[in-house]
Copies of this chain bind each other. A is one copy, B any other.
Amino acid sequence: MSAEIISTGNELLMGLIENSNAKWLARKLTELGFEVKRITVVSDKKRDISQAFKEAIERETNVVISTGGLGPTLDDKTLEALAETLNLKIATNKEALEMIKLKCKVHGLELNQARLKMALLPVNAEPIENPSGLAPAVKIKTGKTIIYCLPGVPVEMKKIFRKKILPELTQKNKQLLFKERKAKLEGVFESELVPVLKKVREEFPDVYVKTRVVPTKGIILYCSTKGLKKEAQEKLNKVIKIVDSYVNWLSKERGRR
């Protein structure tokens, strides 16, 4: 099962804020057994957002999650963009309108034009309640793809994901369990690891193995796989053991010279 994340917002392209939403979602989707294939950051412009949706759909991605652009202001254009991509009209969604009305009533807010805008959804789209904000999230299916549009405010995004989307996606991917392990490798250069990494990749083709140089900390070996819990765990342990003993052997060789 493949997934993509589309992050909208000029503030991301201007480097004003960290894209913490994408990192968080990538982590959650990976833990759920999805293969996150791409993260795309685009501007607030309708054309750019629409293009990003189009590309993800053309890649037949199973799940696409967007963040941002659902709010009341004029530069919140995600749903208009999505409607354009899917060649759908945009109209007031009754259910979304009720959600917004109720919130306004509870919090004593005026139901102004800007707030009514948040009930404008592509036809056939399904609103998802936003427990800590006004703008409903949106779900829509097209071909092989399910698209979820979430708000950009991290606390709102996370709550909706945990409450409404996580259970749905868990159902979809219930066979797969994601397992990972990290190990610190000392006294070795990344380039010296090439032969052993080649070996473990050949021996365990379904284990993802990667080294990362962290200045002052050395090399981090990361490996992950999907599968049944015990089996997956054992595979990762084997991989780490092979690399570890190679590193030990290397140190001894060096000592001998």
Contacts and interface: CB of A to CB of B under 8 A. Distances in A.
14 contacts: A12-B26, A13-B39, A14-B27, A15-B26, A15-B30, A16-B222, A17-B212, A18-B20, A71-B191, A73-B197, A75-B210, A113-B194, A134-B191, A155-B215
A209 to B, nearest CB: 9
A249 interface: no
Chain copies in the assembled complex: 2
A24 interface: yes
Given A11-B210, A13-B39, 18 more contacts: A12-B39, A13-B26, A15-B24, A15-B27, A15-B28, A18-B19, A19-B39, A22-B41, A40-B41, A73-B190, A73-B193, A74-B194, A74-B198, A74-B201, A109-B189, A114-B192, A153-B215, A155-B215
A50 to B, nearest CB: 13
A126 interface: no
B41 A48 contact: no
Contacts of A74: 194, 197-198, 201
Contacts of A11: 210, 212, 222
A188 interface: no
Nearest to A31: B15
Contacts of A28: 15
A160 interface: no
A257 to B, nearest CB: 11
A40 B43 contact: no
Interface of A: 10-20, 22-30, 36-44, 48, 71-75, 109, 112-115, 134, 153, 155, 189-194, 197-198, 201, 208, 210-213, 215, 222, 224
Chain A at the B interface: mostly helix, strand, loop or mixed?
mixed
Contacts of A114: 190-192, 194
A185 to B, nearest CB: 13
Contacts of A19: 18-19, 22-23, 39
Contact of A208 (B10, B134, B201): B10
Contacts of A17: 23, 212
A11 to B, nearest CB: 6
Contacts of A15: 22-30, 36
Contacts of A213: 71, 153
A18 B23 contact: yes
